Structure 1
Amino acid sequence: MVEKSKRDYGPLDAVQEAMGVMGPWQILIAIALSLVNIPVAWQQLSIAVIAPKTSFTCNIPATISGAVSSHDACAYSTVVNNVSVSHECIDFTFHNEGLNSTMITEHNLVCGRSSLKNFAQAFTMLGILAGNMLFGTLADKYGRKIPLLVALVLQVVSGLLSAIVPWYTVFAILKVISAFATGGTMLVSFVLLMEIVGIEWRSTLSVLFHIPFVLGHMSIALIAYVTGTYFSYSLAISLPSMFLLSYYWLIPESPRWLLAAGKIEEARAILEEAATKNNIPLEKVNAAIEFHSNQNVKDNKDNNQNTYSMLDLFKTPNLRIRTICIAFNWLVCGFCFFGLAHYVSRLDERIYYNIFISAAFELGGIMIVWIFIHRVSRLKLLMCGNVIAGISLLVLTIVTGEAQVWIISVGCCAMSVSFTVVYLYSSELFPTVVRNNGIALCSVSARIASTVVPFIATSGESTKDNNDWLVSVIFGVGPLIGAALCIFLPETMDCQLPETIEDGENFGKKIQSIPVDEEAK
């Protein structure tokens, strides 16, 4: 394993020299792009306030109330000619905790329809997954800027419409479209950011990029408290995305994509703007254009070489084990992070307080990563985050009352550490030739896990004994297994990253004892 100092990032490529590593031009764009994560948090985590734990009673028609022999919250029985007849309740009185009206009250998602609220959140996560995949392809084909703007427009329109439609089916479709657009904004904004900053800033910005997401999570409680109703809340989290449409003027296209697409003059104009704002000589722009033209000749020759797919992650023994271990850690992060965010609103009547406190602890987790990411190994941070989160969730089975909120908040902080670290670690673990495939596989694992979260988090409500302890155990075991699997992973901090499949197979090995099968290279 070849080590290097933290400042030894090798020579800058010509394009980076032309626009600078980090200057006023990058700072403005980085701040603007990071703001995309605020509505991302609103879309993913609002389920806590729009579909909280709700108690209700059946409104029995006054004309037959005298003939009712028995009733519960979902049905009642009447006696007709000495024969008992059962009736499903169709009108309810709700006793909300939080918003005066919610997704549950607007669409009567109780009794036989109660599972529909979980499907709405599951479809949201699947929509984000689909958006990640499709907008990733669109961004490679049409550039970063246009797909980002298209996703923002979809997000605004679908969000506003979902607040006013009275039909659950249409509402669910609009939620999927909104989630689909959210997935696009998440991916494209991050890719664009990474393409304009210097390599030595990428790990730091990949951490700080998550801060607006947590701020968005914290603001959910405040917005819900101020708005008071489902309709007003939905408008409040949808309208701000309209301001992001100003990105048409604020955000440039990626100069790297423009050069790769052969749009030299457009790339030149953006590079000259960046060079001017960052006080870099314009001669370096011409050098970057010339360098890229020469590089294209080399790349055209390289295109005749092997191409790789996701299957290559499993063809060699070490890389196969590492892929499985890190993918499981992504699954755990998606499962537990969103599980905790969903579960915290079901603890007691102080929904807003619980959400705000747990989100504030998530911000603390990101700050921990920011402070230690260049001082402590990635694996130690990941393992500590997983172990603390797992223990916190298991402790929930034996504590009650106020202590539960604080224990869950500690778990949220720990999972925030794990989720932030696992993304950076994965980008360093996989070889260059399969890096995108590896991260895509891991992202799919996290999204699939997050789709089942609502069903697990609310499973205690469907049992007579209200077995919330079982929910805590299910959420708590996963992080501990994930921490144990980190034993099979190599450290990537301050290491030369693997380029080929063979590099990935031998990465972190002191003795290269396992030969790489020639067919798997």
Structure 2
Amino acid sequence: MEYDAILQYLGDFGPFQRRTALLLVLGSMQTGLHIAVMTFIGAIPIHHCRVTETGVSAYNTTWPDALNFSIPMEEVDGTWRLSSCRKYSREILSGNFTTMESTTGCTEGWEYDRSQYHSSVVMQYDLVCERAWLRELAQSMFMAGVATGGIVFGVLSDRYGRHRTLLVCVLLLVTCGTGLAFTSNLAVFIALRFVLGAAQNGLQYTTLVTGMETIGISWRMAFGICTALAPSVGYALLGSLAYVIREWWILQLAVTSPGVLSLIAWWFIPESPRWLLMNNRVEQWRKTIQRIAEYNGIDLPPFYEYVESSTVHIGSTEEVDGIPGDSKRNYNLIDLVRTQNMRKITVMITIASFNTICVYVGLLFGTSQLAGSHYVTFILGACVEAVAILLAGMTMRRWGRKRSAVGFSLLAGVSCAATAGVPNDLGHVATALATAGRFGVSSTVAVLDIYCTELFPTVVRYMGVGTNIMVSRAGGIVAPFLSLLGNAWRPLPLLTLGVLSCVTSVVVTVLPETHGVPLPNTLQDGENFGR
């Protein structure tokens, strides 16, 4: 509490805090670039088996027409087209006609339509047909990295500080992102995607936690909304870059280049003063406070020495109500569930986040097949998310975190359930409802990201956030498989997403409201939070 008082004296959002927040938000924009870049570098173009031009079928006919004699036709979504994965194994000349026998796989490789994508990872490694699962593996490994990075960098940040963790994440993004553009080995490509997933998630949430602990209470929500909005801006930037840059490895380098600027900005971002104070880094905390005061052009308050001396010993080495003392001890995952209230907070916010990410990814896959240009629809989707996040910010300021999360998750749930009941011939209605669901779940994600960082005490905040990220991102791995439920009953996948969203709205109701409330610092604060 004493630190919040001195922070208000220095300025909740003074010049130093504004500069720090701006650098953090600009740096987090690159997370959106890395999250979605596989959409373009891993794009699957129209393709068919490679065949020679000197076969019997090419006699007295043009080459495009000759493909009809070498490659069978297949029906896809009611349209007949050349098969993507099969070709005729033999051609037999019979009078004036050429007949074909059985079909076989693409033994000589594939030909790709390069009119939209000049090159992609799929073309380079032939990740189509029986090898298509390798492309999905690369995407799944990225999500696995996201889940792993949440807990790994959460522990590192709580133990070694936000500042060092931020540097490690940026260095990994730059080095692995650059290596990804030049590797010629698929196994290395997949491994680097895993590391990139971990690093981008670490960067995203280190940024969020650092800002939340540096600025004052009145601006925490606004900063959280800006960090949530940053990836959407990154999505829109990615769509524009992909439209201009059609070579996948050049696009990968373009996506990685902002990391160099983040390395420069890192020198101007301080360690979290709150983390320093709670970890008894007295001298470093004093220098940071003096740095903020000098930059903001104010003198330190008369009670500065009192705050400094009284808060350093805020922890106790004695056990209170089953909670170990907070002074000079290392924290672990058990602290998140050691006591009743902390256990309730940890379990409930994790369930809510898992469901929300599962619904988000499920709707993302379900709405990605909209007609039109890939680039235009991708940018428009980013704009929908941006508007949803801005609306989430306004509702959180007016009605708080809890009611906002409940309302938006109900919107997503009702939209999913309604979409499941739309007949096949009313595609435009289904598209509108799916967009409403995407809007609702995007807002819910924005709310829960802020809500989660405010629920956990400072001493285990990043560990709690990291654990929540790890479990919730597993929902992103599960979500694509929900579409298989449609084989049993067509509306079942969307009904499942609707149920998950409704469960989220119920779970959130048992969590304490955090809007306008000082952040808990110790485990004892966390146990008393909301009571």
Q: Is residue 362 of structure 1 aligned with residue 353 of structure 2?
A: no
CA change 1:238–1:504 in 2 (3 A) is closer
The residue aligned with 1:55 is 46
- Once the two structures are TM-superposed, the CA of residue 78 in structure 1 deviates from its matched residue by 2.9
The residue aligned with 2:437 is 411
Task: Give matches, 1:450-465, under 5 Å.
Answer: 450-456=476-482
CA change 1:247–1:125 in 2 (3 A) is same
AA paired with 2:39? Answer: A
The residue aligned with 2:166 is 148
Q: Could you tell which deviates more after superposition, 160-169 or 86-95?
A: 86-95
Residue 36 of structure 1 aligns to a residue whose secondary structure is helix
Residue 472 of structure 2 aligns to a residue whose secondary structure is helix
The residue aligned with 2:15 is 24
Q: Deviations over 1:198-241 (max 9, x none)?
A: 12322332222212121112222211111123222212211122
- Once the two structures are TM-superposed, the CA of residue 448 in structure 1 deviates from its matched residue by 0.9
Conservation of the 8 A alpha-carbon contact between 1:390 and 1:411: yes
The residue aligned with 2:243 is 225
Conservation of the 8 A alpha-carbon contact between 1:58 and 1:75: yes
Count of matched residue pairs: 494
CA change 1:249–1:435 in 2 (3 A) is closer
- Once the two structures are TM-superposed, the CA of residue 177 in structure 1 deviates from its matched residue by 1.9
Q: Please provide the CA RMSD for this pair.
A: 3.9
Q: Is residue 176 of structure 1 aligned with residue 187 of structure 2?
A: no
- Once the two structures are TM-superposed, the CA of residue 164 in structure 1 deviates from its matched residue by 2.5
CA change 1:98–1:382 in 2 (3 A) is farther
Q: Deviations over 1:104-137 (max 9, x none)?
A: 2222111111112222111112212222322233
Conservation of the 8 A alpha-carbon contact between 1:156 and 1:242: yes
The residue aligned with 1:139 is 157
Q: Could you tell which deviates more after superposition, 375-384 or 350-359?
A: 375-384
AA paired with 1:449? Answer: G
The residue aligned with 2:76 is none
- Once the two structures are TM-superposed, the CA of residue 405 in structure 1 deviates from its matched residue by 5.0
Partners of 1:171 and 1:499 in 2: CA distance: 41
Conservation of the 8 A alpha-carbon contact between 2:401 and 2:513: yes
Q: Is residue 443 of structure 1 aligned with residue 469 of structure 2?
A: yes
Residue 264 of structure 2 aligns to a residue whose secondary structure is helix
Q: Could you tell which deviates more after superposition, 80-89 or 377-386?
A: 80-89
The residue aligned with 1:45 is 36
CA change 1:105–1:483 in 2 (3 A) is same
1:192 paired residue among 210, 213, 225? 210
Partners of 1:265 and 1:296 in 2: CA distance: 11
The residue aligned with 2:311 is 295
Conservation of the 8 A alpha-carbon contact between 2:122 and 2:135: yes
CA change 1:313–1:101 in 2 (3 A) is same
Conservation of the 8 A alpha-carbon contact between 1:390 and 1:477: yes
- Once the two structures are TM-superposed, the CA of residue 427 in structure 1 deviates from its matched residue by 4.4
2:501 paired residue among 459, 474, 479? 479
The residue aligned with 2:376 is 353
The residue aligned with 2:408 is 385
Conservation of the 8 A alpha-carbon contact between 1:365 and 1:416: yes
Conservation of the 8 A alpha-carbon contact between 1:60 and 1:89: no
CA change 1:250–1:506 in 2 (3 A) is closer
1:212 paired residue among 208, 218, 230? 230
Q: Is residue 331 of structure 1 aligned with residue 347 of structure 2?
A: no
Q: Is residue 116 of structure 1 aligned with residue 134 of structure 2?
A: yes
Partners of 2:306 and 2:167 in 1: CA distance: 31
Conservation of the 8 A alpha-carbon contact between 1:123 and 1:451: no
Q: Could you tell which deviates more after superposition, 103-112 or 418-427?
A: 418-427
Conservation of the 8 A alpha-carbon contact between 1:428 and 1:492: yes
AA paired with 1:164? Answer: F
Partners of 1:416 and 1:447 in 2: CA distance: 15
Conservation of the 8 A alpha-carbon contact between 1:221 and 1:356: yes
2:84 paired residue among 52, 73, 89? 73
Q: Could you tell which deviates more after superposition, 231-240 or 255-264?
A: 255-264
CA change 1:321–1:258 in 2 (3 A) is closer
Q: Deviations over 1:429-477 (max 9, x none)?
A: 56778766654443222111112345556x69xx9x9998655444444
The residue aligned with 2:448 is 422
Identity %: 27
Conservation of the 8 A alpha-carbon contact between 2:275 and 2:459: no
Partners of 1:57 and 1:262 in 2: CA distance: 64
- Once the two structures are TM-superposed, the CA of residue 142 in structure 1 deviates from its matched residue by 3.5
Conservation of the 8 A alpha-carbon contact between 2:155 and 2:462: no
Q: Could you tell which deviates more after superposition, 64-73 or 341-350?
A: 64-73
CA change 1:250–1:350 in 2 (3 A) is same
CA change 1:386–1:259 in 2 (3 A) is closer
- Once the two structures are TM-superposed, the CA of residue 261 in structure 1 deviates from its matched residue by 5.6
AA paired with 1:358? Answer: G
Partners of 2:143 and 2:427 in 1: CA distance: 31
Conservation of the 8 A alpha-carbon contact between 1:18 and 1:280: no
Gaps of 5+ in 2: 59-68, 73-82, 93-99, 325-330
- Once the two structures are TM-superposed, the CA of residue 394 in structure 1 deviates from its matched residue by 4.0
Partners of 1:433 and 1:241 in 2: CA distance: 29
Conservation of the 8 A alpha-carbon contact between 1:51 and 1:103: yes
The residue aligned with 1:513 is none
Q: Deviations over 1:288-343 (max 9, x none)?
A: 45533443345354589833865576677787666544322201221222333344
Residue 368 of structure 2 aligns to a residue whose secondary structure is helix
Residue 158 of structure 2 aligns to a residue whose secondary structure is helix
CA change 1:83–1:186 in 2 (3 A) is closer
Partners of 1:381 and 1:182 in 2: CA distance: 27
Q: Could you tell which deviates more after superposition, 91-100 or 29-38?
A: 91-100
Conservation of the 8 A alpha-carbon contact between 1:326 and 1:442: yes
Partners of 2:455 and 2:312 in 1: CA distance: 27
**TM-score, normalised with respect to structure 2:** 0.79
CA change 1:241–1:491 in 2 (3 A) is closer
Residue 57 of structure 1 aligns to a residue whose secondary structure is strand
Q: Could you tell which deviates more after superposition, 217-226 or 289-298?
A: 289-298
CA change 1:12–1:256 in 2 (3 A) is closer
Partners of 1:187 and 1:59 in 2: CA distance: 46
Q: Could you tell which deviates more after superposition, 346-355 or 89-98?
A: 89-98
